[in-house]
């Protein structure tokens, strides 16, 4: 590689910030995303993302389910530029029901923004998503939203973050008042006050101060709020964590920002600080060791496959996260799993539902590849070596249904659908062993069943029946002799799609008992 090319690659990598926003529904993710995109000039009119969310419901076909439930099943990627940085926001579905897609998408992010509603604190979905990010050790930034409403005391919120999530926090700014009394925030890093101006909070006044005891604050916010601010910040100085970049980088300390997305308050400060502190794409683990983003040869992996994002195109899109090298349209790469060269000729980038053809892309970017059915989730593509990225965790399903078809004549279509949708990672499939072969589907979120049923009907013309079972745990079994007769009470022995033995258990007791009785076998939470 010429020096010029490697310098270009190094620069492009250093510009990239790829992150996901994790939150519980209604915390304001759509609103915050939209404000961020507005700063980046990616959209021009406030309300576009929301409108897109609505338009998506109107135009998409199988996503009828979204409309029915008022939720977003798909996740897409939004890209914008801000002050020389190339920002990629991975949109994770914000519905209550999880799907594995949500988890997998998080593996493509280099950092996460955790959005918390000031009144509600740390909610269920936030916890689950946080845990996935935390396991990867990526930096997590916190934005506490809806400060214009009465909420919990900021100290209590920080305490809750630490208690529930087990991460230390460092407030980067601090609210001056809250709810109707909110008049602004104090930026602890820059030592400045940022105050709302006007009744409708349309503009913001920024004033530099010596410190939080500066008389300017008193002048601007009044005695009561100035006293409270000084007291709070003194306490933080004494008892709070101090900023430590190394701890932020390794996900042990979360920088906390307060603001109100809908009022556009605190969003710009957040964005600027975030872009400064968030990491550029870093090395990724592979079978051939660590792969640096600056490596000359292109490589990446597929973390998600989506069918029919646009009903006009009855195709599938494979989402690929670039890990190293420069992507150029039309380039040939090795599809490592099948051991073939393929040409990447129709790559797309996403801004919500729009499709643009990508000519060039760099590590940290996400591209959508047209998929005629050759890709599987977790596939690695590489320009030079047979490397396989070890990025995608598999999740143990928690809900299981028995599946059957209503019309036996549709068996062929049924098997095709089952095969393709399993490959897409929509559901996990298990087959019982013995005289009667039952098929079970396992998922992490109920919604996956609904989407599966809908797509089976709409894409494969097959009506299926799902019977919810009592099983709650799946354990992959490693060992020599597995005796099916030992799995009769509150459990069953099945095979996964690779013919590996899996035991399904109805409760923890049954699982523990089986493990105690069969000490020679290993029971794994996910496929070996
Ligand atoms: P989500 O994607 O996380 O599900 O949340 P979304 O942005 O759709 O926001 C959920 C609701 O919270 C919306 O109200 C939104 O306007 C509101 N919201 C977002 N940020 C703030 C904020 O800083 N302060 C206040 N007070 N509200 C905020 P909605 O009534 O459901 O929708 P809309 O009619 O306002 O569009």
- Give the tens place of pLDDT for each residue, 328-369: 999 999 999 999 999 998 777 665 445 567 889 999 999 988
How many A from CA of 116 to the centre of ligand 1?
12
d(CA 141, CA 433): 47
Q: In three state form, how does the secondary structure of 479-509 look?
A: CCCCCHHHCCCCEEEEECCCCCEEEEECCHH
**Ligand 1 binding pocket includes 439 (Cβ within 6 Å):** no
Ligand 1: which residue has its CA nearest to atom 22?
A: 146
How many A from CA of 120 to the centre of ligand 1?
13
How many A from CA of 34 to the centre of ligand 1?
11
Q: Please choose, from the candidates 425, 447, 423, 365, the residue with its C-alpha nearest in 3D space to the C-alpha of residue 72.
A: 447
The total number of residues written for the chain in this structure: 528
To the question of whether residue 91 is assigned a binding role by annotation, the answer is: yes
Through-space distance between the first and last CA atoms of the chain, rounded to whole angstroms: 38
Query: pLDDT per residue over 31-59, tens digit each?
Result: 898 888 888 776 555 555 555 554 443 33
Q: Are strands 348-351 and 380-382 parallel, antiparallel or unpaired?
A: unpaired
Helices (H) and strands (E) in the chain, counts: 14, 31
- Would the CA dihedral through 506, 512, 513, 516 be positive or negative? positive
Nearby residues of 418 by Cβ (< 8 Å), 6 or more positions away: 403, 429, 439
pLDDT attached to residue 324? 96
Q: 284-382 has which CATH code?
A: 3.40.50.300
Q: Are strands 184-187 and 173-176 parallel, antiparallel or unpaired?
A: antiparallel
Among 31, 129, 264, residue to substitute to test ligand 1 (most atoms within 8 Å of Cβ): 31
Nearest atom, ligand 1, residue 31 CA: 7
**Ligand 1 binding pocket includes 30 (Cβ within 6 Å):** yes
d(CA 505, CA 507): 6
d(CA 319, CA 307): 11
Task: Look up residue 242 and give its two tokens.
Answer: 């101090």
- Would the CA dihedral through 40, 41, 46, 50 be positive or negative? negative
**Ligand 1 binding pocket includes 201 (Cβ within 6 Å):** no
How many A from CA of 347 to the centre of ligand 1?
34
179: alpha, beta or left, given left = phi > 0 and alpha = psi -120 to 50? left
To the question of whether residue 28 is assigned a binding role by annotation, the answer is: yes
How many A from CA of 236 to the centre of ligand 1?
30
How many A from CA of 203 to the centre of ligand 1?
20
- DSSP letters, 70-95, are T------EEEEEETTEEEEEEPPP-S
**Ligand 1 binding pocket includes 120 (Cβ within 6 Å):** no
Q: Are strands 428-432 and 439-443 parallel, antiparallel or unpaired?
A: antiparallel
Q: Where are the domains of the chain?
A: 19-75+89-172+243-277, 284-382, 399-524
Ligand 1: which residue has its CA nearest to atom 30?
A: 26
Assign a CATH topology to domain 19-75+89-172+243-277: Rossmann fold (3.40.50)
**Ligand 1 binding pocket includes 27 (Cβ within 6 Å):** yes
**Ligand 1 binding pocket includes 261 (Cβ within 6 Å):** yes
d(CA 398, CA 448): 12
H or E stretch covering 218: helix 215-221
Q: Please choose, from the candidates 269, 91, 140, the residue with its C-alpha nearest in 3D space to the C-alpha of residue 192.
A: 269
How many A from CA of 31 to the centre of ligand 1?
6
How many A from CA of 166 to the centre of ligand 1?
27
Nearby residues of 299 by Cβ (< 8 Å), 6 or more positions away: 286, 291, 322, 323, 324, 325, 380, 381, 382, 383, 384, 387, 389
Please indicate whether the domains covering 19-75+89-172+243-277 and 284-382 agree at the CATH topology level. Answer: yes
d(CA 19, CA 87): 8
Ligand 1: which residue has its CA nearest to atom 29?
A: 26
Cβ count within 10 A of residue 378? 18
Nearest atom, ligand 1, residue 261 CA: 23
To the question of whether residue 297 is assigned a binding role by annotation, the answer is: no
**Ligand 1 binding pocket includes 95 (Cβ within 6 Å):** no
CB-CB contact of 313 with 48 (8 Å): no
Q: In three state form, how does the secondary structure of 181-233 look?
A: HCCEEEECCCCEEEEEECCCCCEEEEEECCCCCCHHHHHHHCHHHHHHHHHHH
Q: May I ask the CATH architecture of the domain 399-524?
A: 2-Layer Sandwich (3.30)
Task: Look up residue 119 and give its two tokens.
Answer: 């009144």
How many A from CA of 98 to the centre of ligand 1?
21
To the question of whether residue 115 is assigned a binding role by annotation, the answer is: no
Phi, psi angles (nearest 5°) of residue 229: -60, -45
Among 262, 267, 270, residue to substitute to test ligand 1 (most atoms within 8 Å of Cβ): 262
Task: Look up residue 243 and give its two tokens.
Answer: 């900023």
Residue with tokens 């099983």, as numbered in its chain: 471
To the question of whether residue 18 is assigned a binding role by annotation, the answer is: no
Residue with tokens 């998080």, as numbered in its chain: 106
Q: What is the pLDDT along the chain (528 residues), one digit of tens a residue?
A: 567 678 999 999 999 999 999 998 889 998 898 888 888 776 555 555 555 554 443 333 334 544 443 333 344 688 888 999 999 998 776 555 567 778 888 999 999 999 999 999 999 889 988 988 998 899 999 999 999 999 999 999 999 999 999 999 999 999 999 898 888 999 999 999 998 876 555 677 888 988 889 998 998 889 999 999 999 999 999 999 999 999 999 999 999 999 999 988 889 889 999 999 999 999 999 998 999 999 999 999 999 887 655 555 556 788 899 999 999 999 999 999 999 999 998 777 665 445 567 889 999 999 988 888 788 888 999 998 788 897 677 778 989 999 999 998 999 999 999 998 888 778 999 999 877 789 999 998 887 898 899 889 988 999 999 999 999 999 999 988 888 888 888 999 999 988 999 999 999 999 999 999 999 999 998 887
How many A from CA of 27 to the centre of ligand 1?
7
Q: Please choose, from the candidates 111, 93, 87, the residue with its C-alpha nearest in 3D space to the C-alpha of residue 39.
A: 87
To the question of whether residue 95 is assigned a binding role by annotation, the answer is: yes
To the question of whether residue 24 is assigned a binding role by annotation, the answer is: yes
Nearest atom, ligand 1, residue 260 CA: 23
Rounded to the nearest 5 degrees, what angle is found at the Cα of 304, between the Cα atoms of 291 and 416?
130
Q: Please choose, from the candidates 474, 471, 481, the residue with its C-alpha nearest in 3D space to the C-alpha of residue 519.
A: 481
**Ligand 1 binding pocket includes 26 (Cβ within 6 Å):** yes
Nearest atom, ligand 1, residue 149 CA: 26
């Amino acid at each position: 590689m010429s020096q010029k090319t490697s310098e270009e690659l190094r620069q492009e990598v250093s510009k990239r910030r790829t992150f996901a926003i994790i939150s519980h529904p209604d915390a304001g993710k759509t609103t915050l995303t939209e404000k961020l995109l507005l700063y980046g000039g990616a959209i021009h009119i406030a309300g576009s993302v929301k409108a897109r969310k609505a338009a998506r419901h109107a135009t998409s076909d199988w996503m009828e389910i979204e409309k029915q439930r008022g939720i977003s099943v798909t996740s897409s990627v939004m890209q914008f530029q801000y002050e020389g940085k190339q920002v990629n926001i991975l949109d994770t579905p914000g519905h209550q029901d999880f799907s594995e897609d949500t988890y997998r998408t998080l593996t493509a992010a280099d950092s996460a923004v955790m959005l918390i509603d000031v009144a509600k604190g740390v909610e269920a979905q936030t916890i689950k998503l946080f845990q996935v990010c935390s396991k990867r050790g990526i930096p997590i930034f916190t934005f506490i939203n809806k400060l214009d409403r009465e909420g919990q005391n900021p100290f209590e919120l920080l305490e809750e973050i630490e208690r529930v999530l087990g991460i230390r926090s460092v407030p980067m700014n601090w609210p001056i008042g809250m709810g109707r009394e909110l008049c602004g925030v104090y930026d602890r890093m820059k030592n400045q006050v940022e105050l709302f101006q006007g009744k409708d909070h349309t503009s913001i006044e920024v004033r530099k101060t010596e410190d939080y005891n500066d008389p300017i604050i008193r002048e601007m916010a009044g005695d009561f709020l100035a006293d409270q601010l000084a007291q709070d910040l003194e306490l933080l100085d004494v008892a709070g964590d101090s900023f430590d970049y190394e701890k932020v980088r390794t996900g042990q300390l979360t920088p906390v920002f307060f603001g109100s997305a809908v009022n556009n308050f605190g969003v710009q400060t957040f964005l600027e600080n975030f872009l400064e502190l968030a990491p550029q794409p870093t090395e990724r683990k592979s079978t051939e060791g660590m792969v640096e983003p600056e490596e000359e040869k292109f490589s990446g992996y597929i973390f998600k496959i989506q069918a029919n994002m646009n009903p006009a195109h009855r195709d599938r899109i494979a989402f690929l996260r670039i890990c190293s090298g420069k992507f150029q349209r039309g380039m040939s790469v090795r599809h490592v799993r099948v051991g073939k060269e393929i040409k990447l000729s129709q790559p797309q980038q996403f801004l919500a539902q729009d499709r643009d053809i990508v000519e060039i892309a760099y590590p940290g970017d996400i591209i959508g590849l047209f998929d005629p059915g050759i890709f599987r989730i977790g596939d690695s593509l590489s320009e030079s070596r047979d490397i396989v990225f070890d990025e995608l965790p598999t999740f143990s399903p928690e809900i299981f249904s028995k599946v059957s078809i209503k019309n036996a004549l549709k068996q062929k279509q049924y098997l095709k659908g089952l095969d393709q949708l399993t490959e897409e990672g929509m559901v996990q499939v298990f087959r019982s062993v013995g005289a009667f072969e039952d098929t079970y589907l396992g998922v992490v979120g109920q919604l996956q069943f609904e989407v599966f049923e809908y797509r089976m009907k709409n894409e494969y013309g097959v009506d299926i029946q799902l019977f919810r079972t009592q099983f709650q745990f799946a354990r992959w079994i490693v060992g020599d002799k597995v005796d099916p007769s030992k799995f009769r009470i509150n459990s069953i022995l099945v095979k996964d799609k690779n013919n590996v033995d899996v035991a399904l258990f109805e409760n923890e007791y049954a699982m523990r008992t089986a493990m105690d009785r069969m000490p020679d076998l290993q029971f794994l939470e996910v496929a070996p």
